[in-house]
Amino acid sequence: MTGPLRPEFREGQVLAAADLAATVAYARATAVRHARLAHDWGIADGLALTTESRTDPATGARYVEVSVQAGLAVDGTGRELVVPAPVVLSEADFAAVNGADRATTEPYPVFLTAADRGRPATGPASCAGSSGPTRVEESFQVLFRRLGDERLVADQQPPAVNAAPAAPPVQWLVLLGFVQWTAGHFTAAFPTARGVGPRYLGVRADTVSARSGSLALRTRPAVQEGKPALVLSDADAPTLVYGLYKGTGVVDPLLTVESNGNLTIAGSFSGRISAGSVLATSGSATDGVVLPLPAGVTPEEVADGRVSLHVHVTPRIPSTATGSALTSPAEATVDGDRRVRCRIRVYDPTAAPAQVFEQPGVVDFLVLATVAATGGGG
């Protein structure tokens, strides 16, 4: 088993074509191994499908002209696919693959793949009389496939670690998007369909470091207002901030972790409560109302005993319209469904005859949710 072979030269050596080709091949192999093994393959920049409205002069029907925008992708073999300028998709090429299908609104996948094209020799003919190409254009080809073939992307297997740079006819499919076909024309383009979309270039690393003292992780290549970002910084004091970009490009913090461990959040906190903790909620409720659970506590946790509830209610004694009536609480309880039962007894001694009646009342409540602390390791 041998490793990569690096060409070496010496004074007076007669260089054959194979020697020069080996120099180029060594550099190519180094580059593709890095791209294949240190990165996840996919689209690096551009290559979006865009549309322009058109009208069929024969039928007057409206359709769209679909183009692949300029950009760069790296396929799973480590090869760069460079599209230097926008390319209009060929309706004839699409019809040759899918034109016989029954009419459907389902979008068809569009792929990009590598293609080598030899270029003729330049300059005077060689002594050996060879007239073969002296340049190879590392070009590309846009392919149309059948409905559902977008799933083939996930089945592609990269070459071995020590494999030489792959050359056509080895084909690696890079999904660009989808097109809709109606009555002999493209009528729409979509970035995703059937839960599948383009794959974008990634990096494989256990350490990512910043030279400026601030490292930002965001969901878009450019800063956009309202989009999320995670910023790790040691500019003034070490902090970790999650928030949304403002129009000025500054992150508006929603969650901040300071160097001393203090946590500051702009919204509410919810989630499963940990052992030994207590959550509470309070307020007022009328007779017949079901008391709410503290935020972060679910009815299922209460039902299966993971969380214990402690409820305290205090009846409110309402003021009366006249000073002669006397009021007192007749009942202030909560049943197993957390439903309030509150009755207020009213006695008016000045009425003829004296009246005693009950009416619905209001309670102030406090609900505590607790989880027992484990003793030693449970």
**Cβ neighbours around 59 below 10 Å, total:** 11
Token pair in block for residue 364? 């102030």
pTM equals 0.68
176 closest CA partner among 149, 204, 202, 156: 149
Neighbours of 186 (CB within 10 A): 20
What pLDDT score does 126 carry? 55
Asked if 77 contacts 172 with a C-beta cutoff of 8 angstroms, the reply is yes
Query: Which of these, 368, 280, 358, 349, lies nearest to 315 by C-alpha position?
Result: 358
Structural domain boundaries in the chain: 17-119+135-202, 213-265, 278-370
Q: Give the single-character DSSP code of 334.
A: E
Instruction: Find out whether 178 and 104 touch, Cβ atoms under 8 Å.
Output: no
- What are residue 65's DSSP bridge partners? 52
pLDDT of 245 reads: 95
Would you write out the chain's pLDDT as a tens digit for each of its 378 residues? 678 888 888 898 898 888 888 888 888 888 988 999 999 999 999 999 999 999 999 999 999 999 999 999 999 999 999 999 999 999 999 999 998 999 999 999 999 999 988 877 665 655 555 566 778 888 999 999 999 999 999 999 988 888 877 666 568 999 999 999 999 999 999 999 999 999 999 999 999 999 999 999 999 889 999 999 999 999 888 999 999 999 999 999 999 999 888 999 888 666 666 777 888 999 999 999 999 999 888 899 899 888 899 999 999 887 654 567 788 899 999 999 999 999 999 888 877 787 888 889 999 999 999 987 665 444
215 Cβ contact list (under 8 Å, min separation 6): 208, 209, 231, 232, 233
Distance CA 244, CA 258 (A): 18
Q: How far apart are CA 78 and CA 30, in angstroms?
A: 10
Q: Which residues contact 363 (CB under 8 A, 6 or more apart)?
A: 284, 285, 313, 314, 315, 316, 332, 340, 342
Q: What is the largest CA-CA distance in the chain?
A: 134
DSSP summary character for residue 272 = P
Are 64 and 107 contacting, i.e. CB atoms less than 8 angstroms apart?
no
- Contact present, 158 and 39 (Cβ < 8 Å): no
Sequence-distant (≥ 6) Cβ neighbours of residue 72 within 8 angstroms: 43, 44, 45, 46, 47, 80, 81, 82, 83
Residues 159, 172 contacting (CB under 8 angstroms)? no
In this prediction, residue 368 carries a pLDDT of 93
